[in-house]
Amino acid sequence: MTTPAEGSLVLGIDLGGTKILAGVVDDQHRIVGRAKESTPAREGPEALREALVSAGRDALQVAGIGPERLSAIGIGSPGPLDVDAGVIRSSPNLNVTDFPLKGTLEEAFGTPVAVQNDVRVGGYGEFKLGAGRGYRDVLAAFVGTGIGGCLIRDGRIVTGVTGNAGEIGHLIVKADGPKCGCGRKGCLEAVASRTAITRRVYKAIKKGASTPLRDVVKSKTSRLKSKELSGAYRSGDPVAVHEVDRAARFLGLALGGLMNVLGPEIIIVGGGVTEALGGPFVDLVRNAARAQAMADPDRLVRIEQAELGDDSGLLGAALIARERFVGTGEPQRT
């Protein structure tokens, strides 16, 4: 851990469905104090407020600073959001409606707050500070419980007229395929997310397949951790290998199609599943995408693994807040 830096400090928060990550970030984009809280996903708004404030305070404490040293706060949150008002409009995963993220944090820390969609801040973090450094046209795909995407065109996040552009998780990749959480059938998320893989592993077990995952996946809604999946995959468990290969193929199918449409300079593949499975998974995705990408005969589009891991969200959130309230966000050398 570095000592608290001179210059402006920003608090970045990544509000996820299972955990809240908070970090104090200096003007060289280094995390100088970090904290983690479990997300109170079912307890409602007051518990969520307490957890957010507590994560922020703990990060400040680790950094050895008080709230008066903060220039801004940035937070990435699941949506749908009212980004300008800084409100979570509704989130079944967090069990809140019209939750005032911005107001809550402004009141607790007395500093301006920028709110943005969690996947977008992760993508923006990777674009500016991770695998996307030096590029202008980037597509980021994050594979975890669900599948999220972030499209960056000419250096800016594309949100579209709807404000929601970039939702690659709900591209249909299998007509009349399995039902998705969004109500449609055959979405990418319904066949290639960890949730989808878990459901298929459970099916295989029910049909009598022998797999070490039998101890973890006891129902179709069991929580299979990415590490458990990657452990089984690495040990050569046929069920894990088959399902990971299949998920990577579908992800590649979607990304290859997007390569044809968008021609980005780089596609960044991240998220918990990718982190845990690492290079072999990215290779599978790359090969599957290239097989679809008829519009890229010279293989100009790079397909690379994300670099910031779990920190992409909090670093991206801090960066968005820094750019809005402090300055350009470019590191300032003294």
Binding residues vs Zn ion (CB under 5 A)? 170, 180, 182, 184, 187
Nearer to Zn ion, 182 or 294 (CB): 182
Nearest distance, CB of residue 184 and Zn ion, angstroms: 5
What is the sign of the dihedral through the CA atoms of 37, 43, 226 and 254? negative
Minimum distance from residue 172 beta carbon to Zn ion (Å): 8
Q: Does the N-terminal peptide bond of residue 212 adopt cis geometry, omega within 30 degrees of 0?
A: no
Place of tokens 């399902």: 243
Residues 39 and 18 sit within 8 Å (Cβ to Cβ): yes
To the nearest whole angstrom, how small is the minimum distance from the Cβ of residue 246 to Zn ion? 18
Q: How far is the CB of 18 from Zn ion (least distance, A)?
A: 20
Q: Which two tokens stand for residue 310?
A: 């779990």
Residue closer to Zn ion, measured from CB, 47 or 172: 172
The greatest distance separating any two alpha carbons of the chain, rounded to the nearest whole angstrom, comes to 64
Closest distance of CB 177 from Zn ion, Å:
10
Q: For Zn ion, which is the closer residue by CB, 100 or 257?
A: 257
List the structure tokens of 238.
């046929």
Residue with smaller CB distance to Zn ion, 178 or 263: 178
CB-based contact 270:142 (threshold 8 Å): yes
Q: What angle do CA 262, 267, 271 make, to 5 degrees?
A: 130
The DSSP line for 228-268 is HHHHHHHTT-HHHHHHHHHHHHHHHHHHHHHHHHH--SEEE
Choice between 140 and 180, CB closer to Zn ion: 180
Helix, strand, coil percent values for the chain (each to nearest 5): 40, 20, 35
Nearer to Zn ion, 182 or 300 (CB): 182
Kindly tell me which of 87 and 150 has the beta carbon lying closer to Zn ion: 150
Closest approach of Cβ 331 to Zn ion, in Å?
39
Give the closest residue to 251 by CA, choosing from 182, 202, 204, 196.
196
Work out how close the CB of 171 gets to Zn ion at its nearest, in angstroms, rounded to a whole number.
9
